[in-house]
Amino acid sequence: MTSPGTQPAPARIHGERAIAQSFGTDAARYDHVRPPYPAALVAAVVGVPPEGPVRDVLDVGCGTGIAARQLQQAGCTVLGVEPDARMATFARERGLPVDVATFEAWEPSGRTFDAVVAAQSWHWVDPAVGAVKAASILRPGGRLAIFGHVFEAPDDVARAYAEAFRRAVPESPFANASGRKPVEAYQAGYAAVAESVRATGLFQAPEHWRFDVERTFTRDAWLELLPTTGALTRVGPDALAEVLAAVGAAIDAHGGSFTVPFTTLATTAVRSRG
């Protein structure tokens, strides 16, 4: 999702390891409030590629296993790779095998896959390593699929968040963020990912997928989601309470809930056979 602050610059975010490995602070909340992925996207990933149906999937940065469980339900065997041991433990307890490692350091030990997916996680992977390593473990005709959600609160709620965050956590790298990042900015980011995949010379031409719906958030649902975002996972309880109180008041003034566009973007490419 769009963090209601913003993310660090895309070219540098993979180096922000403290943020990358902060989401397991409350793995149960994360798993409960983070939305699943569109059934149409899962079907497209699992659909029959040139070399046959997808059976074996590697989920990079699997987190608590939200996408992985959807892929398992679609009939795939999934292995997760996750650097946060807390998230990995949560996923394992729900039936997902997980290797604890960053994707860059993970050892495939001869294993290969029909698909490599990254759900809301590829920005934490070093772009100099990611696509080449994915190609090295994909079977010919296998698919790399990188996807994530894009959504944000209405202007008045986002403004209340940004102002409260600056007051409560002035030293944060997110403190000067505007709180807004339109879907077009994320599309540009996915275009950059596609270019990095294309530049390896190891994949067929990348494709872009987009899935659009609307989603309604109640006050309570939004306030439960916010602490799982990268800007807030490491702030202290007093600062978090201040931010949530300001956002809650803004949602109350907005009518107690809001409905917003909810987009899932994906960049995907098939491993060349050569």
List, in order, residues 6 or more apart from 185 with CB less than 8 Å away: none
Looking at residue 273, what is its pLDDT?
Answer: 83
Both tokens of 118, joined, read 């990254």
Q: How far apart are CA 77 and CA 74, in angstroms?
A: 9
Contact 225, 35 (CB under 8 A): no
Distance of CA 230 to the CA centre of its chain: 11
> Amino acid identity, residue 51?
E
Looking at residue 10, what is its pLDDT?
Answer: 41
Q: How far apart are CA 146 and CA 191, in angstroms?
A: 11
Residue ranges of the chain with per-residue pLDDT less than 50: 1-11
List, in order, residues 6 or more apart from 1 with CB less than 8 Å away: 34, 35, 120, 148, 149, 150, 151, 152, 225, 229
Looking at residue 179, what is its pLDDT?
Answer: 56
Match 């946060």 to its residue by tokens. Answer: 84
Looking at residue 22, what is its pLDDT?
Answer: 77
Both tokens of 219, joined, read 């006050």
Looking at residue 231, what is its pLDDT?
Answer: 86
Q: Please state the domain extents for the chain.
A: 13-152+180-214+262-270
Q: How far apart are CA 124 and CA 18, in angstroms?
A: 11
List, in order, residues 6 or more apart from 209 with CB less than 8 Å away: 41, 44, 147, 265, 266, 267, 268
Tens-digit pLDDT profile for residues 49-75: 555 677 999 999 999 999 999 999 999
Looking at residue 5, what is its pLDDT?
Answer: 36
Looking at residue 77, what is its pLDDT?
Answer: 96
Looking at residue 108, what is its pLDDT?
Answer: 96
Q: How far apart are CA 211 and CA 122, in angstroms?
A: 18
Tens-digit pLDDT profile for residues 32-52: 999 999 999 999 999 865 556
Q: How far apart are CA 204 and CA 39, in angstroms?
A: 24
Q: Which CATH architecture has domain 13-152+180-214+262-270?
A: 3-Layer(aba) Sandwich (3.40)
Indicate left, alpha or beta for 61 from its phi (over 0: left) and psi (-120 to 50: alpha): left
Whole-model pTM? 0.89
List phi, psi (to 5°) of 241. -60, -40
Looking at residue 70, what is its pLDDT?
Answer: 97
Contact 247, 222 (CB under 8 A): yes
Residue 73 CA: distances (Å) to CA of 30, 42, 78, 133: 20, 10, 10, 26
Both tokens of 121, joined, read 């996680």
